[in-house]
Structure 1
Amino acid sequence: MSPRSALSALGGFFDVFGSAVAASRAVEANRRPRASDLRMLGIDPKAFNKIIRR
């Protein structure tokens, strides 16, 4: 693995981790996560909006 691809993989990890943190904080605050964060996590934003929260 070249140094460039290793850094790219590490950057991708931080992108996904950041989206996971942002989405979880939004849900904990009873807000809707940003669509871009949900897409980064592989979640369809339209399907997420159909989830019933109690």
Structure 2
Amino acid sequence: MIRKNETSRIGRFFNVWGSAVAVASATRTGYQPAASDLRALGIDPVQFNAIHRN
């Protein structure tokens, strides 16, 4: 049986994984990633916007 603590860890893992995929996809296609996804990864959205991508 899976304990509640293990279930929440698995849920957090998938939330972070989903944010990583969303940010990678947005940056690859030239779009601005959602601020909530950046924050989930520990990235400051303001500093991310300051990066000049070509």
Structure 1 length-normalised TM: 0.95
State the shift of 1:31 in Å: 0.2
Gaps of 5+ in 2: none
Taking the TM superposition and a 5 Å limit, the aligned residue runs for 1:1-54 are 3-54=3-54
TM-score of the superposed pair, with normalisation by structure 2: 0.95
Identity %: 49
Structure 1: state its 5+ residue gaps: none
Q: How many residues align?
A: 53
User: Comparing 23-32 with 2-11, which one deviates more in the overlay?
Assistant: 2-11
Root-mean-square deviation (Å): 0.9
Deviation, structure 1 residue 18: 0.1
Deviation for aligned residue 1:28: 0.6
